[in-house]
Chains A and B, each alone.
Chain A
């Protein structure tokens, strides 16, 4: 038998539903405990391909705002988070930008963009 039930906490909203996820051979076969469809989607992602939106801040040069807050516009694999942080530390923003402007396109080849979450002049 490869079937197991895993307990997860949904992170999609502040409710934090407790999920019971039946997993068979690494695939989700049933999700219980979720109060909305987001919970099921989260459980499948979390078991089969865990990913997070990464948020941080990058250093600017010559702008009034020293740290520009950033995020990936879509989730990236959890396993690449620390590598992504090392990349973020290398970045220097020198031009003024608006919220949602792309700082790094196709960040680390992951198919997501690293975007600014605050405007900076």
Chain B
């Protein structure tokens, strides 16, 4: 078993900021685990602008924001960045077990920061009836397919929910030549930022339906159409309001949930900004879903400092 003063799980904006902060607070023996082949997490696929206004006082794209931190980490020799390293187990006595190509390793840590981020809610979590054809994607998966893999996953798109990623992707699909036929939101106002309604939906005259929901997805192999109904303030369907939209793709943008399976499986409880185990911390979107990455950075800087104080 290897030993490290501090182990940080997750190399997205949260884990990178926590690493930098702990290092600057005097901890020089840090292992940063990232499951992907690059640092940066979700920032790498967020090629749009809008990041960094709070933290860097300038407007950056996701990859640019990530690169600022990647560059700082490279100047910190005590931070051992381990890529393609998937944490699979966390224990109360402060060990982390991780898998990297060819190796299953356990590290005993003086302190641990969990910066595992969040994931998108799926169709199943919002219970949309109908068939189960291909063509139903979470908005973030579609974002990865377009911006990282260079693939356009559909040509006629309906977006379910008005979360920021869905709005950003409505614009992205439109720019790529697809037709975004509707953004459907069950609430009476958007869940995403107003500026994204302006620059992603209104800029391209994409129809936006509030107090509507998809009542059924149709299609045998591929999505063929969706049924849409109007709902009342009680969110119940208004009889006679049904209409259909022909489409080949449905994007789900219905919220994010913390990715805390390792914490849950270990029996550790998240308490406030901390856990019930002294020396095990949680930060960023794994702790609380933030609207903007700058707050993830701020929260994670604080966690890095707390962990450093604990170790000392």
Contact = CB atoms under 8 A, between A and B. Distances in A.
* A, B bound: yes
Contacts of A8: 198
B61 A67 contact: no
A19 B64 CA distance: 30
B195 A9 contact: yes
A99 interface: yes
B55 interface: no
A40 to B, nearest CB: 16
Contacts of A82: 175
Interface in B36-52: 44, 47-50
Interface string B273-298: 00000000000000000011000000
Contact of A85 (B176, B197, B203): B176
Given A117-B47, A117-B63, A118-B63, A14 B150 contact: no
Nearest to B71: A99
Contacts of A85: 175-177
Contacts of B63: 69, 99, 117-118
A59 B150 contact: yes
Nearest to B176: A85
B148 interface: yes
Contacts of B48: 55
A56 B175 contact: yes
Given A16-B194, A67-B150, A119 B49 contact: no
B149 A66 contact: yes
Interface in A1-28: 8-14, 16, 18
Interface string B93-119: 000000000000000000000000000
Contacts of A99: 63-64, 67
A67 B147 contact: yes
A10 B291 CA distance: 17
Contacts of A10: 195
B199 to A, nearest CB: 5
A55 B61 contact: yes
Contact of B291 (A14, A52, A66): A14
B245 interface: no
Given A56-B47, A69-B61, A119 B149 contact: no
A14 B53 contact: yes
Contacts of B193: 14, 16
Interface string B56-80: 0001011110110000000000000
Given A69-B47, A99-B63, A57 B150 contact: yes
A81 interface: yes
Contacts of A18: 194
Contacts of B292: 14
B231 interface: no
Central interface residue in A11, A13, A67, by most chain B CB within 10 Å: A11
A67 B63 CA distance: 12
Given A69-B147, A71-B61, A81-B175, A53 B49 contact: yes
B198 A118 contact: no
Interface string B121-161: 00000000000000000000000001111100000000000
15 contacts: A9-B202, A16-B193, A16-B194, A16-B197, A53-B49, A55-B47, A57-B47, A57-B150, A66-B148, A67-B148, A69-B61, A71-B49, A85-B177, A99-B67, A118-B44
